[in-house]
Chain A
């Protein structure tokens, strides 16, 4: 008798001026065949006759246990509780939050309240970002950081007000904070309705397809060049670049195939963890050590490499060669072409505390072990874990499981059969100051 499908709900967040009302009006006026009920928290100018628009005053209710993860939006519970009785009138709900809203309580409402959970499902969180002002906002408020961390879709709006380079750097910063979200650019919140509605809650498949490097390990360096050199003195020349310094490790006997490069990378990760020695222009760069090239002075700067015997050297640099127009020259001043080069997925270069962790592992999980591990993780780190999503493969279970969560609340449900596809667990966590290594070890211990 309650076999009716749950009503999907999208949450629309974004700072004041990010274009929420424009987007809302656009969605409501478009012919998409959906009947949408809108719950507004900012008395906006949504003025579409056929839409069911309800104004609600944001009421944040904390529980007596003081746990922020249990905080819910009381007004939403009331409004949705009533909407539930009119569900023949709409087939989708959009909740617009105030600019300064922490998306946590809104999202938690769909996990915490048993009656709401029975009737509605959180389809997705869409965050509008004002491309021209977000950098300032990120510095000033936790809310804007959390709005980005919680998002399934980031609409990078007002792109016409920012130059292409700044836009790329902004996008990469946002992606570092939230690697799960789809990023869509727009000028006047002009995005297809499909990017906001019916996200299908679980678009991790798509995220992975779109960005295959998503689950690749991150390195503290972005670029490697391998050079075949005879004995002699070489000049490493750099132009002005984005930073007044750059970290570097030079590896001797570097191979050029992918395996050799990865091996070198792993070795360099450990060197990068050591303190760097400052090297000033005109000085020689020691091989096999973490150095910090000082690049404060203007114009091209030269450092030196002494090679005793013919060798293949690998340069693992914090930035790509392009960024500083890095060139290696011999005594005669002719530029030496690298034998091989490759770029790496860089660790976030910004100081954002908020970041994403992806864990990928083939094999089957022991449900009891996973439960214990998750319970402990969520109990200890729930406050700092904003969102999590993933696919899980359980022992003796033909179906893939999807799981998602907000803070310490989570939910896992059977999805489609694995069939012939590899049984691969994929998880993404977005949170503050997460310890990737220990989380990865903890998860791997749940595998059979």
Chain B
């Protein structure tokens, strides 16, 4: 693999700390003010590291039989949820790593878990159903079976939950679970991102395209020509830029003005293998991208989607997840060998 760090500016990434977990580091998150970074590995290990030093605060090796599939930090930053192959969701306290709630979702894998922005609801998908739980872990509602396994879920504000599966995106009322708007399109939707105002729904599709809808007008568009399937999508907080994976190049669509229809997207080129994960820093036009090549790149973007790298680093293996500290001053990368690497961002 070419030495990407040699030719790229080190720039804004200053090595902070590194740590490791026992297996493929699959998901994680910072607590609200960055005191701790919580990480889950594929084997089911859950770990908390001190946000400043990287010292291990606690670890629990037994969470989900078969392993963890997803994780979500509660907006309060004091608890988080993990989902696993055992059909369960566990809600943990960040401080001590104790399991506060055990939720039996279903018989299949629980592949997605997400807290509503106001922290009142926890949504989880298992096979063809999505369920919502209240603050005490009790089931608020459960959807009918979708036509296929739910591939992604996302909150559209605090009042609506969106699900993606083969052929459609469906919105559910957060409180009642009643199914509302349905956006149909014949294709296997593998990823989903909603604009912060909830109007734009973007989905990566198995046929190497990104499909998006404007809920207010019902109009939809398809952006094709990706060499691979766009399994990572990220909107910036202002809802202007949508960054998409689907190959070595990060493609950035701009919703500024009348775009992105009919516009040329920004093409961010530095990765030498497929991009696996994308994350915008909060309230910022800074985007972090990670790839199969183990490269982590921070980009500074303009409103039209163009931009350039302002920092780059290499980790030991495929980048599984990139986690901005909420203040945008630190970035952590999780990799396939269980590496956890944190940088201070200048």
Contact = CB atoms under 8 A, between A and B. Distances in A.
A61 B292 CA distance: 26
Nearest to A66: B186
A74 B149 contact: yes
A75 B318 CA distance: 23
A86 interface: yes
Contacts, number: 78
B149 A115 contact: no
Nearest to B337: A1
Contact of B206 (A72, A75, A88): A72
Contacts of A1: 1, 293-294, 316-318
Contacts of B108: 55
Contacts of B39: none
A437 interface: no
A74 B207 contact: no
A115 B185 CA distance: 23
Interface stretch (A25-33, A77-85, A262-270, A350-358): A77-85
B182 to A, nearest CB: 17
A71 to B, nearest CB: 10
B336 A85 contact: yes
B213 interface: no
B227 interface: yes
Contact of A70 (B190, B207, B317): B207
Interface string B1-20: 10000000000000000000
> Which 9 pairs from chain A and chain B are nearest by CB?
A61-B188, A114-B228, A85-B42, A63-B207, A85-B24, A64-B187, A59-B148, A64-B186, A61-B166
A405 B290 CA distance: 32
**Size category, B interface:** 35 or more
B186 A62 contact: yes
B26 A65 contact: no
Interface in B98-155: 108-109, 111, 127, 148-149, 151
B166 A59 contact: yes
B188 A74 contact: yes
A57 interface: yes
Interface string A45-66: 0000000000101010111110
Interface of B: 1, 23-24, 26, 42-43, 67, 69, 85, 108-109, 111, 127, 148-149, 151, 166, 185-188, 190, 205-207, 209, 222, 227-229, 231, 273-274, 292-294, 316-318, 320, 336
A2 interface: yes
Interface residues of A, number: 24
A64 B149 contact: no
A63 B166 contact: no
A377 interface: no
A43 B300 CA distance: 51
A114 B227 contact: yes
B317 A57 contact: no
Nearest to B317: A1
A114 B149 contact: no
Given A85-B42, A85-B336, A74 B294 contact: no
Contacts of B207: 63-65, 70
A114 B111 CA distance: 21
A263 B231 CA distance: 61
A292 to B, nearest CB: 52
Given A1-B1, A1-B294, A113 B43 contact: no
A129 to B, nearest CB: 31
A52 to B, nearest CB: 9
Contact of A113 (B26, B185, B206, B293): B206
